[in-house]
Chains A and B, each alone.
Chain A
Amino acid sequence: MAALLPLIILCPLAVAVILLLSRGTMPARATCGLVGVGMGLCALFGVIEAVTFLNGPDSTGALHVVLWHWIHVGGFDTSFALTLDRLSLVMMLVVSCIGFLILVYACSYMRDDPDIARFFVYMNLFVASMLLLVLSSDMIAVYFGWEGVGVCSYLLIGFWYHETPNANAARKAFVVTRIGDALFLVALLLLATGVGSLDFNAVIQAAPHAPHAAITLATLLLLGGAVAKSAQLPLQTWLPDAMAGPTPVSALIHAATMVTAGVYLIARLHAVFLLTPGVMLLCAVIGFVTILFAAGSALVQTDIKRVLAYSTMSQLGYMYMALGCGAWQGAMFHLVTHAFFKALLFMAAGSIILRVHHEQDIFKMGGLRQEMPGVFWAFIAGSAALAGLPLITAGYFSKEMILTSAYNVAPLFWLGGILGAFLTSIYIFRCVFITFWGEARTHAHGRTGIVQAVPLAILGVLAIIGGWMEVPDSLGSVHIFSNLLSPVLGELPEEHGGAVLLLIGSIVPLIGVSLAWMLWKPTGRAPEALDQPLVRVLRADWGFDALYDVVFVRPYLALGRLNRNDFIDRLYDLLASVTQFFGRAFGLMQTGQVRRYAAWIAVGTVLALCLAV
């Protein structure tokens, strides 16, 4: 079914183009219908393609479709080509199916916005770019998708353009991720000149024969690109601000898909990363630090979306730690389950926000359990999966898979992961208890419609049962997911010390939830956010934001303003005024008096004679 592959990308693209050309004249209902049909077809084609591919003759290999040559010049050849193997199949299903659910949800969420057409132009462009990113077999086309999702993210964060903070957040998100993009671009230059092609297979085959320094540099640059896109330390500051966009955007872009692009890229190139253990260690360390850093910050946030943003950062940290430990399957598994439960959490949060008059501060909510039971259960399902409550949630299995691999590489990583899981269960249930229990501090209006409820329900179910496709040996040994990916990512290594680690990993989240209950259970008076200086620093990104502002942003802008008239221009002006000065000075000699001239001639002659003698 090679013909279907381009169609999967074309569906959302076509919707975007149609909406763009309609110039906002299409009624909201028609817009939603069009989006539903377009994305529905996209998801349907994705599923059909996946099923036929897995039942086809070459289900462990790859399906390759060359679309056209991009540039071919002087020994360098690169083309737009799509490839479907089991890794891109997983990503494609995540993007198209979860994308479909989120866009359906968004139809309801954005129903009353006059600019709904523009919103869906951006969203569909995003889905098309993301699909291009995961389906390309050539890194240049990946880069097209990579930048495409970046610019769509920018447009969507700044979607409500009439507020300056949104514009600032959008610009910040783009510029910070652009730092990573620049590193990625340099990696492409390095590989293009070294290999003569940017095809994934060509690069992977050439890598073992290349000089070690070059490969190390290339993987380091690629890691840099991935880290910026996934909001890992030290380029994490853009993600919390990115919550300025509409909530479905956060669900789709800043939880389920775009931020995981870097994880996919590294998994795709894992054969190259395996050659550079130093870079892999760095990757694991970045993940390790980010887990704890972001979890610590999530613990004190007051804005429900910012809690989820920091939580996304922290969960991505798990994926990077897994990648660094060589647990490719673990990283991909967590990517999938995280897409389920984090999209669910964001959408549930969106439903809450809609019904409490766009209030996002959890300390101003409270008692919402009775008023919106459906959303409550969805949020609980998502929170349980995020916290990794044992056996009954998807997050548990994927997190344990990572933690076991991490223990086999370095027990310290395992310890960090466990500590992270502990903090995770505290911060998310803090959010749950404050939002849904206790006195009602706000009144919810309206009701959550069926168009919002169905996606929530589907993802809620997935967040619970989605983990059962990969169960460790000590609990029943199901390996559907790792078997699916093993032709691309290699066989799963033997597990060591499984049972004990599993037990600890099962108990820790339960302790965390209990602790959260003790701290934030309803007491009769309204809970209040902590406001010590230390907490404020923690809440404001551990001070990173302010630090970057002082060290980079302000000096750059201030010095730029100081030099806005361009000192080089001033140098030329100086030249001009010097010339004019001398011109005037010599002009003074032109007095018209003959005796003066005669005197000058005499002086000149004497001087000339002196020099001659």
Chain B
Amino acid sequence: MMFALPALVALPFFGGLAAWLSDLRGPARTPWLVSLVTLALQALLLVDLSATTFGPGWRAHFAAPWVSMLGIDIRFDMDGVSLVLLWLNLLIAIPTVLLCTRHVRDRPGLYQFLLLATIAGVNGVFLSTDMFLFFCFWELMLLPLFGVLLIWGHADRARVTLKFFLFTQGSGLLMLLSILALAVINAHDTGVLTFNYFVLAQVAGHSFLAPTIMLGFLIAFAVKMPMLPFHVWQPDTYAESPTAASVLLAGILSKTGAYGMIRFVAQMFPSATAQIAPLMIALGVIGILYCAWLAVAQDDVKRVIAYSSISHLGYIVLGVFSGTRVGTEGAVIQMVAHGLSTGALFIIAGFVEERTGTRDMRRLGGLWPAMPQFSAFAMFFTAASLGLPGIGNFVGEFMTLLGAWQISHVATFLAAFGAVLSSVYALTMMKRIFYGPAVIEGSQPLGAPSTPHLAVLGVATVLLLVLGFYPQPVLDLSTPGSLHPQSLSLAEEPAR
């Protein structure tokens, strides 16, 4: 039990290593199978963790010294939000590995290793409560993806990877500065050098530097998420990535930014957050409307989904910065629903590209009769993305808007109008791909989608419907664990 949390990080990493090594000898499919086994083990671990820990507040804890001289520990704490997001990570990772990496011919072992290392990093980000460790995982989850992009990306990958790298590493640097500043302030005040999240959180609120330090975190998370005006790396990256990386980036990596905003911005710096909230809500609303507007003008399917993804992440910003409980919980629901629906849309886009050879909607059209089951799924996830009630995304949008309404009526009104714009681009996309006369007749038989594809999309459909009609179980998990000392019984100092 004690080692379940570090095991969640270690397992995918070493599983990935094993997959890489297995590639040296043996059939080409071995790495793929090793990855699947790793993820199955991870699922067992998560089932065990969910069943044996109890909320509310912090549910599980692990601590061990790492670099004692600098006060850096290996600290993991898990609350309901972490648990929900760990599940989401797994739910995104399984179909990614299952569907998108099976037929990789070029260095499959390395591919599996990089993907699983990313997943390990993401798990670490969701669990770490040592700030330095958090930063390490933050980097760990990004570095493998640069590799994936550079080796397996599409035509324009060099330029795009550079852009991706500059944005995320540049902003990561700001976060490192903020973390160091916090540690130094704490050391100056108390004489103890530590990177313990709970300790630093007590300092963070009182320091006169709080707004500046918060900004360092905020920019890093805003870039990662991404939100306006730091979003420009994202459409390019999504479009040029192989499908697996697109799904991971949109499905789960964007949620690390949102998670960070809840854990390391709103919770650590409540007063500074309240000060910047109007600006953030304004940016959120502008992001919702502006990106919905850009989405309708795109010709590349993946770019449409990319812009729609940024647009929907705006609701998370609204929820988090509304400073209300309903808004924060809505943001968590929105993360889950957005992860599932956007991931599914990227899988569909990848499938369309695989079978027709193009992502350009000017050359697509009339695909419904050629792939009726897939079209039905596409319709469902499009409906999810335009916020149809009964699907998880609506719960997230409704609750975040409910939170934001208490802060600004006008902003909320405009954000609700985003529902109109989202229906414009979503239905336009449906129309251009699936409706109308068949454009590419006879060029290539489309064939039936594989059973794993249908199963994955079916599971995502069921999960989104359950989330839409009965969100309360997830909501009960979605209150972040508190920072107050009385709740810290689990979070005591590690034995040195």
Contact = CB atoms under 8 A, between A and B. Distances in A.
Interface string B368-409: 110011001001000100001110000100110110011000
B228 interface: yes
B368 A70 contact: no
Closest 7 CB pairs of A and B: A167-B435, A560-B297, A564-B297, A569-B232, A164-B436, A144-B389, A74-B325
Interface string B281-315: 00000000000011011100000000000000000
| Interface residues on chain A, size class | 35 or more
B431 A168 contact: yes
A598 interface: no
B41 to A, nearest CB: 32
Contacts of A175: 420, 423-424, 427
Contact of A151 (B329, B388, B428, B435): B388
B444 interface: no
10 contacts: A24-B372, A143-B389, A161-B366, A161-B434, A162-B366, A162-B369, A168-B431, A182-B419, A185-B401, A556-B424
B471 A70 contact: yes
B399 A73 contact: yes
* Chain A binding surface, main DSSP class: helix
A566 B435 contact: no
B3 interface: no
Contacts of B293: 556, 560, 563
Interface string B320-349: 000011100100000000000000000000
Interface in A548-573: 556-557, 560-561, 563-564, 566, 568-569, 572
A161 B470 contact: no
A179 B417 CA distance: 7
B475 interface: yes
B254 interface: no
B416 A71 contact: no
B452 interface: no
A560 B296 contact: yes
Nearest to B471: A71
A171 interface: yes
Given A185-B401, A189-B412, A572-B232, A178 B423 contact: yes
A190 interface: yes
Contacts of A560: 293-294, 296-297
B388 A147 contact: yes
A54 interface: no
A556 B425 CA distance: 12
Interface in B85-114: none
Nearest to B298: A564
Which secondary structure dominates chain B's binding surface? helix
B229 interface: yes
Contacts of A24: 372
Contacts of B325: 73-74
Contact of B297 (A147, A166, A561): A561
B228 A568 contact: yes
A161 B298 CA distance: 22
A158 B298 CA distance: 23
Contact of A161 (B229, B412, B436): B436
Given A161-B368, A162-B437, A568 B232 contact: yes
A155 B223 CA distance: 37
A566 B471 contact: no
Contacts of A192: 402
Given A189-B402, A190-B405, A178 B232 contact: no
A322 B431 CA distance: 39
Interface string B226-267: 001101100100000000000000000000000000000000
Nearest to B406: A193
A581 interface: no
A561 B398 CA distance: 30
Contacts of A20: 376
Contacts of B231: 568
Given A161-B434, A163-B436, A179 B420 contact: yes
Contacts of B389: 140, 143-144, 147-148
